[in-house]
Structure 1
């Protein structure tokens, strides 16, 4: 990881490091209630989308293509939700705001991975879901499948 600030984000529990591009870093999110959910952070300290450089945007477009293809190929994801929600950074006792995206694959079918069933009961809607408890072994299998497709 090239960015000291992103190292802090990893400690802040954006998730486990998964992959990086020249300008963005991808974490496998802690909550896998939607299989393959990731957090993508800009590798430099920035607060606003309006301050992303043209080079960073071009790199982001490539990352979107790679990540969406990886999840389609790995788990047959049906569609994807992308969002940049900075609200929690403005609560007390948090890190300074840092531009990041939430990537949430959505499924209109069950996905089975090593005997664990992942369901998306609110497909077509955006409803909060409690964290899905999975073993570190299953988490590692998710990472491996996505990484195979990102390479």
Structure 2
């Protein structure tokens, strides 16, 4: 689809792709307000969950299980919050939604990356919107390396 950002990713946009299956691609989010936050993107243009095929649903279920196991194993996540919120697409005058799902790992203990400690200060509560947390590039690359290594072995 010509005017869809997800359908027209550049190679630079794909630099933090940690996994790809037949129907789904997984990207480490630019926003690491929750360490390990990822976005699962359907590989075809689709407007909503209700339009998924049976095969895409099955693959999504398996991918959710795989992602949770990965995030718990390599980063020590306690649980994962999942969201499919398409609201931002409808801020445009001509909305063109592309189905994607966010996963926000949550931690009951601090996580340490390259000597830096990150604490989930809202653990046990809803995730905070617009936290604006920025982590150093080396820490983001460390998260990327851990996830990609586990998911692709």
Interval containing the TM-score (normalised by the shorter chain) = 0.7 to 0.9
Name 2:72's counterpart in structure 1: 72
Following superposition, the deviation at residue 5 of structure 1 comes to 6.0
TM-score normalized with structure 2 length: 0.86
SS in 1 for 2:129: coil
Name 2:138's counterpart in structure 1: 137
Whole-Å separation in 1 of the counterparts to 2:37 and 2:10: 15
Whole-Å separation in 2 of the counterparts to 1:89 and 1:7: 14
- Could you say if the C-alpha distance between residues 34 and 49 of structure 1 is closer, same or farther in structure 2, counting changes exceeding 3 Å? same
User: Which stretch of structure 1 is more off in the superposition, 87-96 or 99-108?
Assistant: 87-96
Whole-Å separation in 1 of the counterparts to 2:47 and 2:17: 21
- Could you say if the C-alpha distance between residues 21 and 5 of structure 1 is closer, same or farther in structure 2, counting changes exceeding 3 Å? farther
CA contact (8 A) 2:18 2:151 kept: no
Whole-Å separation in 2 of the counterparts to 1:147 and 1:40: 14
Whole-Å separation in 2 of the counterparts to 1:14 and 1:123: 30
| Alignment of structure 1 residues 108-147 onto 2, 5 Å | 108-126=108-126, 127-147=128-148
Whole-Å separation in 2 of the counterparts to 1:7 and 1:35: 26
CA contact (8 A) 2:107 2:119 kept: yes
Pairs aligned (count) = 147
| Alignment of structure 1 residues 70-109 onto 2, 5 Å | 70-92=70-92, 96-109=96-109
Whole-Å separation in 1 of the counterparts to 2:96 and 2:16: 20
Consecutive unaligned residues in structure 1, runs of 5 or more: none
What RMSD, in angstroms, separates the aligned Cα atoms of the two structures?
2.3
TM-score normalized with structure 1 length: 0.87
Following superposition, the deviation at residue 15 of structure 1 comes to 8.3
